[in-house]
Amino acid sequence: MEAAAEPLRSVRRLSRVLLFLSQCYILSGDGSLNLEHSQPLAQSIKDPGPTRTFTVVPRAAENKLLSHLTESTEIPPYVMKCPSNGLCSRLPADCIECATNFSCTYGKPVTFDCTVKPSVTCVDQDLHPQRNFIINMTCRFCWQLPETDYECTNSTSCMTVACPRQRYPANCTVRDHVHCLGNRTFPKLLYCNWTGGYKWSTALALSITLGGFGADRFYLGQWREGLGKLFSFGGLGIWTLIDVLLIGVGYVGPADGSLYI
């Protein structure tokens, strides 16, 4: 029995020696390499790195910001009419704002305090920048101005040669350099005064020379009367004489209702 137990004891002693040697190997530093290599890996996994913060802007706030930036950089449309660095007193009416007073006496000279609108630059008589100034004008409303001070729309659908003379409703706008009280755009009834290119001298010459064949009526666009004169030989001369008188005084005009040139 003792002879059989002796090899078992030798194996146990050998295993203890191997265990002791392995511990010494680890403690000597050669076995710590695995730990040193594993620490940076663990650290790289745990370290999240520098953090970044993102701010979410609501859609309504973003639209409001964009509209504000657009308004701040947008040029007002009236700036195109305003000369840069010119005299403030000569600026068009669309470039200034005046404290008008409707209680002034019609037709009398009056002065008003005015201020240039934003984005408009002007100077005084000494070429110094100016914002507030005084203008001199005549006390009257815009619709009371003479016809040379405003422009109106034309109509080609009314008869200029009629009795009584026809009028048409037009929209009129005051010229830029003219100052007045009230609205600068106003409606007004005007006489028909458009032309289609017909010449009075040509119509009269045709009536005298070829009126018996209705050439004057054909020229004016009145083909029914022209056919009547053609087949009646000018009404045996009587119609021809009457047309010469009517065209001469301007009573008979173009068929489209326009004026002679």
Structure confidence by residue, pLDDT tens digits, 10-59: 767 777 767 767 666 666 655 444 444 444 444 444 445 555 554 554 56
Handedness of CA 88, 90, 95, 98 (dihedral sign): positive
Q: Where are the domains positioned within the chain?
A: 79-139, 150-191, 200-249
For residue 100, what are its two tokens?
């008008």
**pLDDT number for residue 149:** 92
Hey, which residues does 172 pair with through a beta bridge? 152, 186
Among residues 86, 106, 77, 75, the alpha carbon closest in space to that of 177 is found at 86
**pLDDT number for residue 143:** 92
Among residues 128, 124, 121, the alpha carbon closest in space to that of 96 is found at 121
Model confidence at 260, in pLDDT bands (50, 70, 90)? Answer: confident
The pTM (predicted TM-score) of the whole model is 0.51
